[in-house]
Structure 1
Amino acid sequence: MSTSSTAGPVNLFDADLVRDPFGGYARLREQAPMVRGSFPGLDSPVWLVTRYDDVKTVLSDRRFVNNPANVPGANVHNIREQLIEARGIPREYAPYILDSVLDSDGDDHLRLRRLVSRAFTARRVAELRPRVEEIAEDLLDRLPGHAEDGVADLIEHFAYPLPITVICELVGIPEEDRPLWREWGRSLVSLQPGAMAEPLRHMVTYIRELIARRRAEPADDLLTGLIRAHDEDGDRLTDTEMVTMVLTLVLAGHETTAHLIGNGTAALLTHPDQLAALRADPALLPRAVHELMRWCGPVQGTRIRYAAEDVEFDGMTVRRGEPVMAVLVSANYDPRRFDDPDRLDITREPDGHKEVHVGFGHGLHYCLGAALARQEGEVAFGALLRRCPGLELALAPRDLDRQFLPFSWRLACLPVRLGEGGQLIQAG
C-alpha cells in the first residue's frame, strides 16, 4: 500500500490495508493530518481523518453533518447512496439503509434517539445484567455439545448468540425467529453485488408483519413502545422510521458486540500475561473491555460525514460539502494520546468507567447501546474465564480467518479448545 503524499487517493479496499489496518492507517496518520481515500467504482474521494484529536472534532463538531442534504447552499452527492446502489439495493429499500437515526442530524436525530434512549440508560442496562448472565451461562452449558474433538467455534456458539438474544428480547423478536436474523445479518456484510438486496427485503417484510402482530398483541418490549409512539402521535415516528429503527437496533445491537467478544477473546488468548492478570483479578473486567475495544474494536471507521462549511485541520482544509471519514482504528492507536499504543494493557486506564478511546464513537452520535455492549463484554469474558480455565486457541494466531470487510475487524470463526476432556466448570 502506497502512503506517498504525491500518490493518488488510498484505495480503501486495498488488500494490505484491510488485512493490517493498524499498521496501514498508522503510516497514513503520520504522513499528514488528512489523506484522500477512494472507494472502488466511485469518483468522489473521501478525506480520511486519522489523528485522535481531529477524529474527536469530526465526531463532535456541528460543522460536520451525517446527511449531505443538510449542507447549506450546496448540492452534495450522497456517497452512501452511491455505495448501496453499487451493492444492488433496490431504490425503494434505500431509505431503510440511508435514513436511520445514525444518518440524521440535529432535531431529527434527537427526536429518533429519544424514542429508544430510555431502553439503554445505565439503570435499565444494570437491570438487564442478571438476564445477560443467565444467557451466557446457558450458552456455555451447551458449548461442549457443539465441540468436535474438544474444539468449538466460539463465534458461532457464544459470541453471536449472546448479544443477539439480548437485543431480540429487548426489542421483541420472538425466539423462534432469531436464527433468521443471524443469517440475514451474515448476508448483509457480503461484498458481492446484489447480495444485500434479498436479506433486506426479508427483514423489512418481517418487521412490518411483526408490527401488525404487536398491534394485536402488545407486549412489554421496545417495539410495542415504538408502536404506541407512532399511533398516538404520527409526527413523532413515521411507518418507515419505525421499521428502520427496529432494523438498526437489532443489527447494530448484536454485530458489534459479537465481534468485540470474538476479537477480545482471541486477544486475551494470545496475550497470556493479560489473561493471567484478568483471571487473578476479575475486578479488572470493566477496564479490560475498554482496552479491548481500543486495541481490537470491531468498528474501525465511522459513517461518512460532510463539512457544512470550510474546516481546517493543521493547515489542511476540508471544503464545504466534502465528505470526511473518521478512522477510529487510527485514533485509538495514536501515540499522541496513548503511550505505547501497540501494547495491549488491560490496566491502561485507572478508572474502568472512564472512556478515552473512540471505539464507540464520540459526540452526539456516540453509540446508543455502548453501556449494554460493555456489560455484555464484561459478562462474556468473565463467564469464559471462570468456566473455561483451559481455554486455548485451536490453531496458530496467524491462521485465524478474518472477513474481508473494510473498516471492520471481525473473525469469520474462532476455533478454541475447551480444555482437558472438553468439559467446562459447572455454573454456580
Structure 2
Amino acid sequence: MSSAPVDLASPAMNADPYAEYARIRELGPLVDAEMPGMGSVRLVTRYEDVKAVLSDTRFVVNPANVPGGEVEDRTAQALRARNFPPEYDHYLTASILDADGADHTRLRKLVSRAFTVRRIADLRPRVEELTEQLLDQVEAFAGDGEVDLLADFAYPLPITVICELVGIPEADRPQWRVWSSTLSSPTGEGIGECMRDLVAYCEDLIERRRAEPAGDLVSALVEAEGNEQLSPTELITFILALVFAGHETTANLIANGTVALLTHPDQFALLREKPELAPRATQELLRYCSPILGTKIRYAIEDVDLAGELIRKGDAVMAVPAGANHDPRRFPEPDTLDITRESDGPRETHVAFSHGIHYCLGAALARQEGEVAFAALARRYPGLRLAVAPEDLARPDMPTVWRLTALPVRLR
C-alpha cells in the first residue's frame, strides 16, 4: 500500500499515464488514489487482479446494490463536479453500464441481437465503403498541407456506423457530434442544455418509431418497451449509451493507434507490407494504447480479500486496464509495440474491452472498424506522418480516458 494517495489529476499522469501506472502497479496490489470530483478510490492495476475484480460478483457498479447503509455514489459526485443537472442523472446512471445481476442480464439480452457475429460481419462492406469515402474527403481537405485526422476521419467513421445501426437519421448526426463533444468536455460547460436537448430528441425519435418502425435498433427497443421489457427511462438511456459508447472509444482508439504506428515506423511499414496483420495489429493497439485507462467504479458488497489485501464492504474500487495491459507479469516487454503479438481472433489476452459480465457489447464492431481504418491508412498513405512532435499533441485532463483533442498529420 502507498503511504500517500496517488493524485490521478497530476501533470505526470496526464503526460504519460502508462508510465505512471507502471510505477503505481509496483507499489502493491491495491493503491489508494484521489479521483478529481470523486474522492478516494482504491486502484487495482495488476493483470490477474484486474481480471479478478471485473469477474467477481462481489463487486457491483451500482452502489445501491451494496446491502445495508448508504454508499456514496462516486459517479453522481463526478457529475456534480461538472455541473451536471441532477434531474438528468438517471439518464446516465440507469443504463446497462450501471446495471448488476438480473437487471444487467435482462438489458444485455435485449440489445445483444444487434451485435451478433453475423450482424457485425454483414456491416464490414459498409465500414469499408465509409472508410474510403472519408479518406477521399480527407485528401480533399488536406491538399498539400495538414489535416486533422481525428475530426475528419477517426471520429466520423464510428459515429456514422453506430448511428446507422441504432437508427439516427443522417441529417441529425452532426448535432450528435456537437452533443458528444459537450458531454465529453472536462469543463462541463453547456452540459445542462445539452442533456435537455438530447432527452427531447430521443423522446421525439421514439414517438416517430412508434408511429413508423424502421427496422433499426431503436424500433426494436420501442417494441420491447411496448412489451413492458423496458421502462421509458431505460429506452432513452439505451439510445444514449449505444450511440456515445459506440463511437467515442473507437474514435479515440483509431487516433491513439495511428499515433502509435506513426511513432513506430517499423510497425507501420510492416502493416503496409502485410495488410493481413490488421486484425492482430488492432488487438495489439488495443493493448498498447487503449483510450480507456480505468473502468467504472465498482463497490464491494462484502469484505473481499484481493491478493492478500482487504477490501472493505462499500469500498470504491477502480480496475485499471492501462496497468493490466502493460503488466510484465503477463506480457513480455509490455512497453514494446509489436503488431504480431496478439492472435487474430476475438479471444484477446488484453482487457481493453473489460472482462466478465460487463465485457464490451460492441467489441467486435470496434475491432472491425479499427482493422479497416488502420489497414486503409497504411495502404493509402505510406508517407503519413505527424504534423507536430508527439509531445506537442494536446490531450485533455481526464484521468480515466486517454484521448487527443486533435490529430494533425500530413498525408504525404
For the Cα contact (< 8 Å) 1:189–1:196, is it kept in 2?
no
For the Cα contact (< 8 Å) 1:88–1:195, is it kept in 2?
no
Task: Give the TM-score of the pair, scaled to structure 1.
Answer: 0.94
Secondary structure at the counterpart of residue 317 of structure 1: strand
Report the counterpart of residue 257 of structure 2 in structure 1.
264
Report the counterpart of residue 92 of structure 2 in structure 1.
97
How far does residue 399 in structure 1 lie from its aligned partner after superposition? Answer: 1.4
Secondary structure at the counterpart of residue 177 of structure 1: helix
The whole-number CA distance in structure 1 between the counterparts of 2:90 and 2:186 is 20
How far does residue 350 in structure 1 lie from its aligned partner after superposition? Answer: 4.2
How far does residue 216 in structure 1 lie from its aligned partner after superposition? Answer: 1.7
- Spell out, residue by residue over 1:372-406, the C-alpha distance to the aligned partner (whole angstroms, 9 max, x if none): 00000011111111222221111222211222211
Report the counterpart of residue 373 of structure 1 in structure 2.
366
**CA separation of 1:328 and 1:372: change in aligned 2, threshold 3 A:** same
- Spell out, residue by residue over 1:133-177, the C-alpha distance to the aligned partner (whole angstroms, 9 max, x if none): 111111011112212533111101100000000000000101111
The 5-angstrom pairing of residues 393-404 of structure 1 reads: 393-404=386-397
Task: Give the TM-score of the pair, scaled to structure 2.
Answer: 0.97
The 5-angstrom pairing of residues 380-391 of structure 1 reads: 380-391=373-384
Report the counterpart of residue 308 of structure 1 in structure 2.
301
- Spell out, residue by residue over 1:12-52, the C-alpha distance to the aligned partner (whole angstroms, 9 max, x if none): 2222212211111111110111111112455x411111111
1:218 aligns with 2:213: yes
For the Cα contact (< 8 Å) 1:151–1:417, is it kept in 2?
yes
2:109 pairs, out of 95, 106, 114, with 114
For the Cα contact (< 8 Å) 2:186–2:396, is it kept in 1?
no
The whole-number CA distance in structure 1 between the counterparts of 2:30 and 2:163 is 39
Report the counterpart of residue 35 of structure 2 in structure 1.
39
1:192 aligns with 2:187: yes
Structure 2 letter corresponding to 1:383: A
- Spell out, residue by residue over 1:344-368, the C-alpha distance to the aligned partner (whole angstroms, 9 max, x if none): 0011124444300000100100000
2:56 pairs, out of 49, 56, 61, with 61
Report the counterpart of residue 336 of structure 1 in structure 2.
329
Structure 1 letter corresponding to 2:2: S
The 5-angstrom pairing of residues 23-422 of structure 1 reads: 23-42=19-38, 44-147=39-142, 149-231=144-226, 233-234=227-228, 236-419=229-412
Structure 2 letter corresponding to 1:86: A
Structure 1 letter corresponding to 2:267: Q
Structure 2 letter corresponding to 1:276: A
- Spell out, residue by residue over 1:274-317, the C-alpha distance to the aligned partner (whole angstroms, 9 max, x if none): 11111111111111001000100011100000001111122210
For the Cα contact (< 8 Å) 1:160–1:255, is it kept in 2?
yes
Structure 1 letter corresponding to 2:136: D
The whole-number CA distance in structure 2 between the counterparts of 1:191 and 1:65 is 26
Report the counterpart of residue 2 of structure 2 in structure 1.
5
Which deviates more, 331-340 or 345-354?
345-354
Structure 1 letter corresponding to 2:106: R
For the Cα contact (< 8 Å) 1:89–1:194, is it kept in 2?
no
For the Cα contact (< 8 Å) 1:285–1:378, is it kept in 2?
yes
For the Cα contact (< 8 Å) 2:159–2:247, is it kept in 1?
yes
Report the counterpart of residue 423 of structure 1 in structure 2.
none
The whole-number CA distance in structure 2 between the counterparts of 1:229 and 1:354 is 31
The whole-number CA distance in structure 2 between the counterparts of 1:109 and 1:226 is 15
- Spell out, residue by residue over 1:226-285, the C-alpha distance to the aligned partner (whole angstroms, 9 max, x if none): 001111x22x10000000000000000000000111011111111111111111111111
Aligned residues between the structures: 412
**CA separation of 1:41 and 1:140: change in aligned 2, threshold 3 A:** closer
Structure 2: where are the runs of 5+ without partners? none
For the Cα contact (< 8 Å) 2:182–2:189, is it kept in 1?
no
The whole-number CA distance in structure 2 between the counterparts of 1:378 and 1:6 is 43
How far does residue 222 in structure 1 lie from its aligned partner after superposition? Answer: 0.3
Secondary structure at the counterpart of residue 366 of structure 2: helix
**CA separation of 1:416 and 1:90: change in aligned 2, threshold 3 A:** same
